[in-house]
Structure 1
Amino acid sequence: MDVVFKDTQFSFQTLRLLGAAALGQTDVGECLATARRIDEGNFESWTNAWLATAQRIHASAERCARAGRTVSAREAYMRAASYYRAAEFFLHENPADPRIREYYTANMECFRQAIERLPQPPEPARIPYLETTLPGWFYKAEANGYPQATLLLQTGFDGSIEELHGHAVAATKRGMNCLTFEGPGQGQVIRFQGLPFRPDWEFVVEAVVDYALTRPEVDPQRIALEGISFGGYLAPRAAAFESRLAACIANGGVFDFMGSKLPADIPRAEFVAWLKAHKASYNDEAKVIMANDTDARWGLANGMFTFHAESPADWMLKAMDYELSNVAGQIACPMLVIDGEEEHAFPGQAQRLYDALQCPKTFMLFTRNEGAGDHCQVGAPLLAQQRIYDWLQETLQNERVA
C-alpha cells in the first residue's frame, strides 16, 4: 500500500506510524503533516522531520503533566515516544552516531511517563539472562482470577518493546496476561547492552519462560509465544526446543531469513563458499546498490548494526544461519503462521514454514482488499488483533481442556 511516498521503505514506515494511531500511539494528522515535510529517500530529512514533531508533542506532554492533566499528558507522551523512535530509525549506518542513544532514550522516557499514567500500568520486568538481564513489561489480564493464559510477545529485526504496547493491551482485554520483551539484537539490548542477534533463540525464550513461571498470575499450561516480523523466525526457532509453550504465532512466518535474497540458480552451500572467497567484491557491489536503493541501504545498515557485522558480506554470512530446515519438524505446539498478500520483506517464507511443520497448524492470510495485506498488517492492527488473538484464545482454551 503506497502512502505519501513512492519509495517503498519510506511508504511502509509511514504506514506503520499511521496504523499505530488506531492503538493510541500516534495521530493521523501529525503523521501526514510530518511526512509531507520529508524529502523522499533522504534519511536526514526523515530524521529531522520526525524529531521536530517528537519534540513538539513532548513539550505539550510536559505542559499537560505540570498542569495535572493526566490523560492529556499520557496521550501526548505516548505519541512523542513513537515519533522519537521514528526519528532514530534510519541512523544505523553509523553505529557511533550519538543521536541513536539520545533519541532512543527519549522514546523510552516518554513511554515510561505515558504508561505510569495508565489506570492499570504494566509492571517493568528485568528478565535474568546469562550474566545480565533483558527488559520486559508485564501486563496483567483484565479478567478476574488467577492464574491466566499468558502471551509472550516480541518484535523482530527493527521493532521495539514500546511498539508492542497496543498489542499487549489487546491481549489483556481478551483475558490474557502479556509479557513483552526484547532480546539480543533488539531495542534497548543492542543499543545499551551491546548484545547482537543470535540464531539459537531458544536460549532467549527459555529465560523469558523461566521468568514468566515465577509470577503467580501465569497459568503454566497456557503460555504462548508470538514473534512479529523477523520474530516470525525467532519464535518458531524457540518453539522447536521450548516444550513449555502451548502455542506459537509467527507474524509473519519466516522459514529462511535470507531465502528471498539468495541467488535462485546457485545451491546454498555453493553461494556461501563463493561469498567467503569474494567478500571484497560483494561489499563493493553492495555499496553501489545501497547508494541507489533505500531498502537495501537501510536493510544492510540495520543488519550490520544489530548483528555486529563489519561489512555487508559479514552480515550476509551471519544471517545465513537463521533458517529452520533442520528444526521446523521438531515443533510440537499448535502454530499459527501468518502471511500478507502484499508481503514485501519475506515473500513466500510463510508458506515454506507452514509446509515444513508437522504439528497442529493454521495458515492465516491477510489481504490487500482488507487493508491488511502489508508486512505484519501494520495498516490494520485492530483487524489483525481480532483474528490473531481470537485464534489464540480458542487454541489455549482447547489446550486447557485437553
Structure 2
Amino acid sequence: MVAAIRNAEWCAWFPEDYRWAYNVMLVLAVVPTGGAEVGEIDRVCRRLAGHVGDDERWFREWGAMGDHVRGLAEKAEARGDRRAALAHYRRATSYYFAAERFRFPKDAEALASYRAMTDCFRRAAELDDRYRIEHVEIPYEDTALPAIFISAASSPDDRRPAVLFMSGFDGNKEHNWFLGAEDLIARGVSVLSLDSPGVGEAVRFRGVPLRHDYEAAGSAAIDWLEGRSDVDADRIGVMALSLGGYYASRCASMEPRFKACVAWGAIWDYHRIWRERIEAAYAKQLPVPGEHLVWSTGTSSNTEALRLLEGFRLADVVPRMDCPFLLVHGEDDQQVPVSDAHLLYEACGSADKTLRIFTNEEGAAQHCHMDNLSIAVPEINAWLADRLGASAG
C-alpha cells in the first residue's frame, strides 16, 4: 500500500502541495548565498496563491520575476554599478531556474527561459572579480559536457585539490554555485561543477540522456582535471546531491582515481523509487513533474524508462569503494526514505565511512537539507577538505 502524502508543514507557502512547497524551499535555501531575496520570493508566492498545481502559472510568475531582476541588473550595468549588477544577475539565475523546472514539454519557450538562466549566471561570473570562474567543456564520448570550474589556486602552478560537483535528477551546474561552492574555495578546494548526462544543458541542448554507468562522466571529468596545472591529480574527490547520491557513489566505486566521495542524499535502488511513484500515479512526493523521467532518460514511455532504471542500483557496486565516504541524509526526507541511507552505508566497502543523519530537532531534515543548508554545508565541506588534505591559501 502506498503511504499517504504528508503535508509540507515545514514550508509556509503551499503546505498542501509537496512539489510546490519543496521548490519554494529550493529558492529560499539560496538566499544566504545571494541566490534569491525573501521579498521577491514572497511576491511570486502571493501571485501564485490560490493556483496550486497550475504549472503554467508557476512558469509565468517565476519567469516574470527573472525578467524583472535581470532588468535591474542591466540598468545597474548601464550606470556602471558592477556590484549591484552582479547581485541582480545571480538572483535572476535562481528565478529562471525555478520557472523552467515544471515546464513540460521542453519547448522553445521553456528552453529560452533556461537559456536566460545560463546567460544570467555567465554574466554574473564575468562581473565577479573575486574568483576565476571559467565556463569549460569536458570531452565526453562524441560530444562534450558543459561545466563551470572555479579555482582555489593562487597561481596557475599552485596545485590544489579539486572536487567534481554534480547535482541530481533535476538540478544543474549553476544552482550548485549556491550550494557551498564559495565555501569550498575558501577551504582551498577547487570546484568543477558539471552538467552530467541527463542534467542541465547536457540534456536540454546536447541530447545527452541519463545513464546508469555514471563513471563514464566521472572518468571524463578526472581526465580533464588531471590536465590542469593548478589541480593536484592525487587529491580529486566527487560530490553530488539527490540522485547524485547515486552518481557519486557509483563513480567512486568504479573509478579508483577519486580519493573521497560525498553522497549528499542516499540513493539505493532508484528503480524501486520510480516504480512506486508510477504505481501511485505520481501521488507520492516528487521534486518535479513525472514527465521529467521519460524526458531525461531519452525514452518514449514509463515502461521503457523503468527498464533503463534497472541499472540504477548500488548493492553490487558500492562494496568495491575504498576511498573515504561521507553519506548525509535527512531524517524526514520525504522523497527517499532514511532506511535507504542505512542500506547504502552498510554496503559501502570503504574502511573510512561516515553516516550523518540530520534530525528534525536540529533541522536540515528534509531532502538534501534544503530546509537548513547553513548547518549541513559546512559539515560536508569540512569533511571533504579534510579528506583531500586541503588548506586555504
1:267-282 counterparts in 2 under 5 A?
A: none
1:50-129 counterparts in 2 under 5 A?
A: 50-92=62-104, 94-95=105-106, 97-119=107-129, 120-129=131-140
- Measure the CA separation in 2 of the matches of 1:172 and 1:128: 24
Name the SS for the 2:240 alignment partner: strand
CA deviations over 1:349-399 (Å, ceiling 9, x no partner): 22111010121210011122233111111132222221001111222239x
Contact 2:166 2:173 in 1 (8 A): yes
Pairwise CA distance, 1:261: 4.9
TM-score normalised by length of structure 2: 0.90
Contact 1:259 1:349 in 2 (8 A): no
- Measure the CA separation in 1 of the matches of 2:246 and 2:317: 11
Pairwise CA distance, 1:332: 1.1
- Measure the CA separation in 1 of the matches of 2:211 and 2:325: 22
Pairwise CA distance, 1:294: 8.2
Cα RMSD of the aligned pairs, angstroms, is: 1.9
TM-score normalised by length of structure 1: 0.88
Give the structure 1 partner of residue 32 of structure 2.
22
Letter in 2 for 1:366: F
Name the SS for the 1:59 alignment partner: helix
**CA separation of 1:246 and 1:236: change in aligned 2, threshold 3 A:** same
Aligned residue among 303, 306, 331 for 1:316 = 306
- Measure the CA separation in 1 of the matches of 2:39 and 2:310: 41
Letter in 1 for 2:244: G
Aligned residue among 181, 186, 193 for 2:199 = 186
Aligned residue among 358, 369, 380 for 1:377 = 369
Pairwise CA distance, 1:7: 0.4
Aligned length: 373
Give the structure 1 partner of residue 295 of structure 2.
305
Give the structure 1 partner of residue 386 of structure 2.
394
Pairwise CA distance, 1:325: 1.4
Give the structure 2 partner of residue 259 of structure 1.
272
- Measure the CA separation in 2 of the matches of 1:233 and 1:302: 18
- Measure the CA separation in 1 of the matches of 2:317 and 2:121: 37
Contact 1:225 1:245 in 2 (8 A): yes
1:176-215 counterparts in 2 under 5 A?
A: 176-215=189-228
**CA separation of 1:380 and 1:306: change in aligned 2, threshold 3 A:** same
CA deviations over 1:4-59 (Å, ceiling 9, x no partner): 11201100000110011111111111112211211112111211110111111111
Contact 1:142 1:173 in 2 (8 A): no
Letter in 2 for 1:155: S
- Measure the CA separation in 1 of the matches of 2:286 and 2:365: 22
Contact 2:101 2:288 in 1 (8 A): no
Aligned residue among 345, 349, 352 for 2:343 = 352
Gaps of 5+ in 2: 1-9
Aligned residue among 130, 136, 141 for 2:141 = 130
CA deviations over 1:278-326 (Å, ceiling 9, x no partner): xxxx98x77xx35xx4856944211111001212222222222201111
- Measure the CA separation in 2 of the matches of 1:341 and 1:224: 26
**CA separation of 1:233 and 1:299: change in aligned 2, threshold 3 A:** farther
CA deviations over 1:48-87 (Å, ceiling 9, x no partner): 1101111111111111111110000000011111111111
Looking at secondary structure, tell me which structure has more helix per residue.
1
- Measure the CA separation in 2 of the matches of 1:299 and 1:249: 27
Give the structure 2 partner of residue 2 of structure 1.
11
Name the SS for the 1:363 alignment partner: strand
Give the structure 1 partner of residue 7 of structure 2.
none
Letter in 1 for 2:342: Q
Contact 2:55 2:102 in 1 (8 A): yes
Gaps of 5+ in 1: 264-281
Name the SS for the 1:324 alignment partner: coil
Name the SS for the 2:27 alignment partner: helix
Name the SS for the 1:24 alignment partner: coil
Pairwise CA distance, 1:250: 0.3
Letter in 2 for 1:9: R
